[in-house]
Amino acid sequence: MGPHPARPQGDLWILDAHQLLVARELGIIENLPKLSNDELDDKNKEDALFKVLALGQVIWFLVQMGTRLSYHLLTSQLEIVVFSFAICTALTYGLLLDKPKDASTSVIVSAARYPTPEKMIRIAIAGPGTFGLFRRSIWIPNNAIHSDSKRPMVGPMAKMNQGVVLALVIFGAVHCVAWDFIFPTQVEKVLWRVCSLATIVVIPLCVGINLFISMIWTRVAKREGFSIKYKDTEGVFNFTLSFVFVVCRLFIIVEMFRSFVTLPSGTFRTTWSANLPHLG
Amino acid sequence: MTVFHSNCTLPPDGTGFVLSPNARGTLDILWSCLSILVLSTWSILHLNVPTQSTPSGKTQNYKRKAIRFLAKLQWMAVNVVAPEWALGKAWSDYRSVSTFEEEFDVFRKVDEVPWSRAHTYFANMGGFAIRFTAETHQAEEELEPNASDPTYNDTTPGNQGTNKSHEMSRTQNHTTVVGENYASKNKTVTSADPDAIALPTISTRIPRMSSSHQSCSEDPQLRAIGLGPTSGGAEKLGSRTDDGENGEPRQQELPVYMQAYFHSVSQGGLVSAESLERSIENSSRSIGIIDWTANDTNIHTVKKALEIVAPEHFKTELEKHRFLQSYTSWVHILHVLKEICGF
């Protein structure tokens, strides 16, 4: 055993925050990695000007939509969809204020000692789960979901689900503003309504049913000493609902551009917000 | 399609200030909307640290740039079709950082290092890498509780104290040795589909199963049936346990479907481990050498970990729960800790 003499570099572990804590606790590393706040700031590629411009544009759009809706001026379907994006973006921006953007190098720390198999087992269980594909890279993939709760009964996806459900309710509700808009054909109008409702309902339904099943499983399995196989409910059922959801989303994306050719004349009126500074 | 040319009246010469026209064109709507759409799907991307490499020459450098750009484009497309992903992920990340704030605060003071929320975010992005070098000490035989170390305070019930974990590590060391025996004896067992053999044992609590029993070169499928509720099977199991390691506590409290899964994985049945190896090789060809090399010690440790894994290794309820729910994910993370390929 021991590190291979011909390969003095040894190997590399990319640990997430929870794993780093466990590694520190178990003595794999002697100290938490030292990285000054300034050095970390330097890794952050966030550009203040760009952020101000982006935020300004989003705020301008929100003001513009607000005035249009309050004056009962007609709007295009595209604007309605983009309006829902803008609301979610504003919320996301708020949540990500502390997160460094586009850091492209890792800080490398030397390990103090090799782990025993028992330690390895615990470090691995602290690691991030993935949404969709399993982890296949050494670096942390972008679909990683980190541990976000210390309560054992809360599933690893709980917080993710909360955010998703909130976003979808905002999204679908805003889409419903276009309930009585003018569409190229009557069929499209009905489809728009169906898809808007599906946006709200489908994924929360999926999440709800999965939670219910896993709750039942936990209860039964606790009694049976976990000898029953936990069937991930991400089976045919989830696939079908996700498929329905994606089709609905795609329809709305196509329809928001298609309805552009039949905009009523009121849509082309502007409000005082046209005088505010904005791009495009 | 009819096209309308709007024609506003111009103000007379000498007008001090002209307000914007009270009409807009189709394209005005389009551009303002597209700018928002791009901003909300591109600029909110906070992607993780990408794979590090050392490109040799211009081609590899440009390729790497292109790959990183395409990754951003790909996640932008995800945001267009499923914008709720961005908010869900942001909320999950936010909560994740808050969850460990207390623990990091304890270690920050002890280790005297700067640590902020941004640091935790950076860790979750893959910003901290641990490198095993020639100077790295061997694994400790026994975990000595270090007086200078703050106890990692887990608020979950079922957390064991330091003394207990000291005791546990001793028993674990014993099982390590057993695991080694098992590995050498048990080379001929065929790996089976875990689903197939999980079926006959549903709703039975699997009794403690000694490693000596597991090392018998019986067909796993038959073994699984033998573990069923019938008394004959149980007696058979009992007799096997006795001629084993003198009734030492064993780690096999796992359901049979999990044991079978781990068994097949430790025999090299994990497809994605191979694809990890392949993808590393491929990307080192296109974007330059990835500084990640074979480490025999860790390979060995992972193999052992797969052999001895049991619920009792997990010190908190949280860890236990997570293991039982997503053991396949655990195996994948474990395989990243190991180093599978060498080029």
Model confidence over B189-235: pLDDT tens digits? 333 333 333 333 222 333 333 333 333 333 333 333 333 333 333 33
Q: B231 and B296, same structural domain?
A: yes
Residue of A nearest to B28 (CA): A280
Whether B334 has a pLDDT exceeding 60, the answer reads: yes
Residue B197 lies in a domain: yes
Q: B77 and B170, same structural domain?
A: no
Helices (H), A71-153: 77-95, 117-126
Identify all chain A residues contacting B256, using CB atoms and an 8 Å cutoff: 227
Binary contact (B329, A130; C-beta < 8 A): yes
Domain boundary residue, one of B67, B98, B123: B123
How many domains does one find in chain B?
Answer: 2
Q: B310 and B222, same structural domain?
A: yes
Beta bridge partners, B319, equal none
pLDDT, residue A160, reads 87
Distance CA B119, CA B108 (A): 11
Residue A130, helix vs strand vs coil: strand
Average pLDDT, chain A: 83
Question: Which range is least confidently modeled, A139-143, A180-184, A216-220, B56-60?
Answer: A216-220
More confident residue, A185 or B199: A185
Residue B15 lies in a domain: no
Q: Helix A77-95 crosses helix A48-70 at what angle (to 10 degrees)? A: 140
Q: How distant is the alpha carbon of residue B273 from its chain centre?
A: 13
Binary contact (B81, A246; C-beta < 8 A): yes
pLDDT, residue B74, reads 94
Contact A128, A146 (CB under 8 A): yes
pLDDT, residue B267, reads 64
pLDDT, residue B162, reads 39
Q: What is the mean pLDDT of residues A21-34?
A: 90
Beta bridge partners, B289, equal B54
Residue B235 lies in a domain: yes
Query: Which residue reads 């573990």 in tokens?
Result: B227
Interface predicted TM-score (ipTM) of this complex, two decimals: 0.88
For A35, list phi and psi in degrees, rounded to 5: -145, 115
Q: Which two tokens stand for residue B144?
A: 């000595």
* A43: nearest Cα among B130, B61, B47: B47
Residue B63 lies in a domain: yes
More confident residue, A55 or B338: A55
Binary contact (B301, A12; C-beta < 8 A): no
Residues whose CB is less than 8 angstroms from the CB of residue B335 and which lie 6 or more positions away in sequence, other chains included: B270, B272, B273, B276, B302
Mind listing the pLDDT tens digit for each residue in B74-119?
Answer: 999 998 888 889 999 999 999 999 999 999 999 999 999 999 999 9
* A253: nearest Cα among B1, B85, B33, B87: B33
> C-alpha dihedral over A271, A272, A274, A276, to 10 degrees?
-150
Q: B103 and B184, same structural domain?
A: no
The DSSP H or E segment spanning A199 is: helix A186-224
pLDDT, residue A116, reads 84
Residue B130 lies in a domain: no
Residues whose CB is less than 8 angstroms from the CB of residue B328 and which lie 6 or more positions away in sequence, other chains included: A134, B261
Q: B180 and B109, same structural domain?
A: no
Distance CA B80, CA B76 (A): 6
Whether A260 has a pLDDT exceeding 60, the answer reads: yes
Whether A78 has a pLDDT exceeding 70, the answer reads: yes
Contact A151, B318 (CB under 8 A): yes
Q: B180 and B279, same structural domain?
A: yes
Q: What percent of chain B has pLDDT over 70?
A: 59
Binary contact (B311, A27; C-beta < 8 A): no
Q: Pick from A227, A254, A267 the residue to mutate for testing the B interface (most B CBs within 10 Å).
A: A227
Binary contact (B37, A85; C-beta < 8 A): yes
Task: Calculate the alpha carbon distances from A57 to B25, B26, B36 in Å.
Answer: 19, 19, 7
Whether B163 has a pLDDT exceeding 80, the answer reads: no
Residue B237 lies in a domain: yes
Residue B26 lies in a domain: no
Task: Calculate the alpha carbon distances from A17 to A160, A191, B57, B298 in Å.
Answer: 17, 45, 35, 21
Beta bridge partners, B61, equal none
- Could you list the residue range(s) of the whole structural domain that residue B220 is in? 160-337
- Strand ranges, E, within chain B: 128-131
Distance CA B13, CA B268 (A): 84
Average pLDDT, chain B: 67
pLDDT, residue B95, reads 92
Identify all chain B residues contacting A40, using CB atoms and an 8 Å cutoff: 116, 118-119, 122
pLDDT, residue A115, reads 85
Q: B105 and B178, same structural domain?
A: no
Contact B13, B48 (CB under 8 A): no
Distance CA B68, CA B79 (A): 17
Q: What is the mean pLDDT of residues B141-159?
A: 42
pLDDT, residue A77, reads 92
Contact B84, B90 (CB under 8 A): no
Mind listing the pLDDT tens digit for each residue in B281-301?
Answer: 787 888 888 877 767 777 777
Q: B219 and B76, same structural domain?
A: no
Residue of B nearest to A277 (CA): B20
Query: Which pTM does this prediction carry?
Result: 0.75
More confident residue, B263 or A181: A181
Contact A162, B91 (CB under 8 A): yes
Domain boundary residue, one of B73, B101, B123: B123
Residue B313 lies in a domain: yes
Whether B11 has a pLDDT exceeding 70, the answer reads: yes
Q: B94 and B168, same structural domain?
A: no
Q: B182 and B72, same structural domain?
A: no
Q: B321 and B270, same structural domain?
A: yes
Binary contact (B92, A159; C-beta < 8 A): yes
